[in-house]
């Protein structure tokens, strides 16, 4: 893990819990036409994604300092971008790109 202070880690956990609850609400409400019920949880996810992609926020710096944090952030952004068009919300550019896979036999990027 990182040298982050315990208060920052607690804040990140709280934020992740809120995102998890928002995802559960989206999963529970299977009706994509019910935009009133889905827009709130999706907005919660978007707010979190906005904060973790802004390099100036303490939340972004904390996520970057945690082992595997970048991969988790990339997945959250990808998930949001898959759902956003269904609810008339804008996509978010993903500054965290998947690492290139290297073919083991040729040593070439795939």
Structure tokens at 23: 């995802």
Structure tokens at 33: 């036409």
Give the ranges where 2-68 is alpha helix by DSSP (H).
6-28, 35-53, 58-65
pLDDT, tens only, 16-31 = 888 888 878 877 776 6
Count of C-beta atoms within a 10 Å radius of residue 84:
17
Phi, psi of 102, deg, nearest 5: -105, 125
Cα–Cα distance for residue pair 77/96, rounded to 1 Å: 9
pLDDT, tens only, 39-68 = 788 888 888 888 888 888 888 888 878 777
Structure tokens at 37: 């019920």
pLDDT, tens only, 69-105 = 777 777 888 888 888 887 788 888 877 666 555 445 5
pTM of the model: 0.64
Cα–Cα distance for residue pair 76/22, rounded to 1 Å: 12
Beta bridge partners, 102, equal 109
């Amino acid at each position: 893990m990182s040298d982050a202070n315990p208060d920052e880690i607690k804040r990140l956990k709280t934020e992740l819990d809120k995102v998890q609850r928002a995802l559960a609400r989206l999963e529970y409400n299977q009706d994509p036409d019910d935009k009133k019920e889905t827009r709130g949880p999706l907005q919660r996810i978007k707010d979190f994604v906005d904060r973790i992609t802004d390099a100036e926020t303490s939340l972004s710096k904390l996520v970057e300092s945690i082992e595997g944090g970048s991969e988790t952030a990339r997945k959250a952004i990808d998930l949001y971008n898959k759902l956003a068009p269904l609810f008339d919300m804008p996509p978010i550019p993903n500054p965290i790109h998947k690492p290139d896979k290297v073919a083991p036999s040729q040593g070439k990027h795939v």
